[in-house]
Structure 1
């Protein structure tokens, strides 16, 4: 009853004061969306069906990842505009409208993935954030995206991964610097036994260093097939 009332109030508010589109700034058509219909239709898209919903099949993506420790890669888009702008706004400026938009796009791609795939992961884990950094930012975007995936696919989240070391942002570091930063950065409880099929969620994959380090840990605890799900993937030029 309360949720229905809130939805009606949101619709009424939208009629009185429509939300501006996060791309073109014109009013959106739906109260629960961040983009107008025209902008949604013109967003850049990845050829997911062509590569069987595994971006590792795309040479331009695979060349940027050295020996990926994951078996599948699913992303909404390349790390380019406008997604790059929205991700930075969400993470560093606490723009929750941009965060809502990215979560909506992530859910839409996962819905397509669900319709295409015959076998889904058995559980979801996400890239953890050090407690100090979590206090500074106020949220872990990977955890929020994992929640979207869990609701969309009706899968459990296993909040087991911990980040033991505090590091500054990985942005701008070389592959070797990222790998050095991540040595022994993550941990799992020693007695953890994971399902064989796991999905790992993060916001962006660049060199794959973070995901690879976590995947090595997940495999030591029983994971056999690991899917990496992100909002964006950096394109190798």
Structure 2
């Protein structure tokens, strides 16, 4: 666990977020990860990149197994038109369940040249084995 998370985040060159599909953005009217990323970027004085990733397809991840999530994400996250060579980028995510979305996003940013990609999430879904504990 980080002792000073704000200082660690302030070392990043930029902050970005997991995008919503257009359909989900239209139905909700907002993207919670974008709201969180904008607030963090403003508070810490770190640039926000709002077009680093695009979600082109894919279905809702809720209820899918880890393998199904990987398949669902195949090619659904696409890179923006950015050069990230040598940059330290932090991706903001709301909830990490299996890590499939975060891993796919990090892979895309690395393909764009990012040297370091960190994932910051508000929450993590407990693994299934935790359900067996009283």
TM-score of the alignment, normalized to the shorter chain, above 0.5: yes
Distance in 2 between residues matched to 1:158 and 1:113, nearest whole Å: 20
Report Cα offsets for 1:128-152 as digits up to 9, x if no partner: 0111111101100010010111112
Residue 118 of structure 1, CA deviation? 8.8
For residue 2 of structure 2, what is the aligned residue in structure 1? 52
Distance in 2 between residues matched to 1:119 and 1:143, nearest whole Å: 18
- Contact 2:12/2:90, CA 8 A, preserved across alignment: yes
| Residue 26 (structure 2) pairs with residue 154 (structure 1) | no
| Residue 105 (structure 2) pairs with residue 214 (structure 1) | yes
Q: 2:83 aligns with which of 178, 189, 193?
A: 193
Distance in 2 between residues matched to 1:118 and 1:188, nearest whole Å: 22
What does residue range 1-237 of structure 1 map to in structure 2 within 5 Å? 51-52=1-2, 112-115=4-7, 117=8, 120-160=11-51, 161-167=53-59, 169-189=60-80, 191-194=81-84, 196-236=87-127, 237=130
User: What SS does the aligned partner of 1:232 have?
Assistant: strand
Distance in 2 between residues matched to 1:143 and 1:233, nearest whole Å: 18
> Radius of gyration: which is bigger?
1
User: What is the TM-score with the length of structure 1 in the denominator?
Assistant: 0.50
Q: Which one has a larger percent helix, Structure 1 or Structure 2?
A: 1
- Contact 2:10/2:45, CA 8 A, preserved across alignment: no
User: What SS does the aligned partner of 1:218 have?
Assistant: helix
- Contact 1:126/1:142, CA 8 A, preserved across alignment: yes
Distance in 2 between residues matched to 1:52 and 1:136, nearest whole Å: 36
RMSD of aligned residue pairs (Cα, Å): 1.8
Q: Which one has a larger percent strand, Structure 1 or Structure 2?
A: 2
User: What is the TM-score with the length of structure 2 in the denominator?
Assistant: 0.85
- Contact 2:58/2:73, CA 8 A, preserved across alignment: no
Which sections of structure 1, spanning at least 5 residues, go unmatched? 1-50, 54-111
